Amino acid sequence: MVGTAVAAALRPDVDLVTVGRRPSDLVDVHWDIGRESVPESLRTHWDVVVHTAASTRWTMTKDEATLANIVPLGAVLDLIDDETHLVHVSTAYVEGEHGERTSPWQGFRNSYEWSKAECELIARRRAGRLTIVRPPLVLGSRGTGRISRFSGPYTVLQALTSGMAAALIGSPGGFAEIAAVDEVAASIAAAALSEPRDQPVVIGAGAAALTLEVFVTVVCETLNEWRRDRRIAPIEVPPTIDPGSWHRFFRPLSDQYLTPLQQEGVRLLGMFESYTSMSRPFSATSLVENPAEVLSSSVRYWAERKPRLASRTPEPWRFVA
């Protein structure tokens, strides 16, 4: 997703070789990185290597996250020499607020964040010339909302129109950091064309970051504009439940009284809890301006590409005996 946009941003300025796990018209060299030996065509000196490949799934086991993210980084590091500038794309959430270090992910929210933090440590040990870029949650391009794959935050959109999001779990005043895929790509490309940096490039909106309350309002207003143009009844803004109240009072009852489908919705939306409850935004070095504009464009693009989902009438929750 990000890699394709980075390649497009870099191609006019450099002699570029693109590498991908799956054969494609956009890929110069096919390499199932971490699972196959290095292709002979890549065994040469590289001035700059930009490593964007990663699995961003939050539900991976530790072994899956290791194979998906940590092992491939080791293969990339075997390609570089002392003169190569490695630009490693991580995530801004490795510096976010964490839980207890005794948790399964050593305090991180999920296996993805844990694996990216491990990757940063490995890259710092082995790469002499290194720049780490940390984007937040990535949405579509600012102008059109276009994106190659709907994942991560887009789960919320489907949950809202299906009725699975009867309530959102998070702090209404908590910050939700997002960025447009084309602007993330531009920051990564700029890092590749510059000298290595000791400190990570952190992409975020800073003081302009959206709160959860504003995030949900923008999503619902944009969806309802799209629905109104098609004479479809609007959806309502769901209530927000504070994480403390959710875990103390509501969650113990959910397993007993919700349907299996609703329980799955609760599980999926629960993954966003810590992403929507940040007490402060990131200390960004690459600023995202007007993130609400990015969000609105992304919602419209999703609705145009997924009209059946965007047109659904949310079904109210019901209890089971």
- Assign residue 52 the CATH number of its domain: 3.40.50.720
> What is the per-residue pLDDT for 81?
94
Check residue 59 and give its pLDDT.
78
Burial of 186 (0-12, 13-18, 19+ CB in 10 A): middle
Residue-wise pLDDT tens digits, 255-307: 677 777 667 666 666 666 667 777 888 899 999 999 999 999 999 999 999 99
DSSP-derived letter for residue 78 is T
Domain around 116: 2-134
Q: In this structure, are 117 and 169 located in the same domain?
A: no
**pLDDT for the residue 320:** 52
Could you give the CA distance from residue 223 to residue 296 in angstroms, rounded to a whole number?
Answer: 9
Taking CA 261 as the corner, what is the angle to CA 257 and CA 262, rounded to the nearest 5 degrees? 50
In terms of domains, do 114 and 235 share one?
no
As for how many domains the chain has, the answer is 2
- Same domain? For 238 and 159 the reply is yes
Domain annotation covers residue 186:
no
Per-residue pLDDT, 149: 87
Residues 80 and 210 in one domain: no
Do 100 and 160 have their domain in common? no
Domain boundary among 78, 101, 134: 134
114 and 37 assigned to the same domain: yes
Question: Is 75 inside a domain boundary?
Answer: yes
Residue 72 lies in a domain: yes
Residue 189 lies in a domain: no
Q: What is the pLDDT of residue 99?
A: 55
156/244 same-domain check = yes
Distance, in Å, from the CA atom of 9 to the CA atom of 18, rounded to the nearest integer, reads 12
pLDDT in tens, the chain (321 residues): 799 999 999 988 899 999 988 777 778 998 988 888 889 999 999 999 999 998 888 778 899 999 999 999 999 999 999 999 999 999 998 876 555 544 667 778 788 889 999 999 999 999 999 999 999 999 999 999 999 889 878 888 888 888 776 677 778 888 889 999 999 999 999 999 999 999 999 999 999 999 988 999 999 999 999 999 999 999 988 888 787 777 777 777 776 777 776 676 666 666 666 677 778 888 999 999 999 999 999 999 999 999 999 999 887 665 555
- Same-domain pairing of 89 and 216: no
The reply to whether 7 and 124 lie within a common domain is yes
pLDDT at 7: 92
Selection from 151, 148, 161, 153 nearest residue 303 by Cα: 161
Given 102, 134, 166, the domain boundary residue is 134
pLDDT given at position 295? 97
Same domain (yes/no): 101, 164:
no
Structural domain includes residue 121: yes
pLDDT at 201: 97
Domain end residue (candidates: 134, 166, 192): 134
Residue 58: the pLDDT is: 78
Whether residue 141 contacts residue 181, with contact meaning beta carbons closer than 8 Å, is answered with yes
Q: Measured between alpha carbons, how far is 137 from 256 in angstroms, rounded to an integer?
A: 33
Dump the DSSP string for 16-80: ---EESS--TT-SEE--BTTBPPPGGG-S--SEEEE------TT--HHHHIIIIIHHHHHHHTT-
In a domain, 191, yes or no: no
Average pLDDT score over the chain:
87
**257: in domain:** yes
318 inside domain: yes
Q: Is residue 25 domain-shared with residue 169, that is, in the same domain? A: no
- Strands ordered across the beta sheet of 48-51: 48-51, 85-89, 129-134, 201-204, 286-287
Q: What is the pLDDT of residue 102?
A: 47
Q: Say whether both 239 and 102 belong to one domain.
A: no
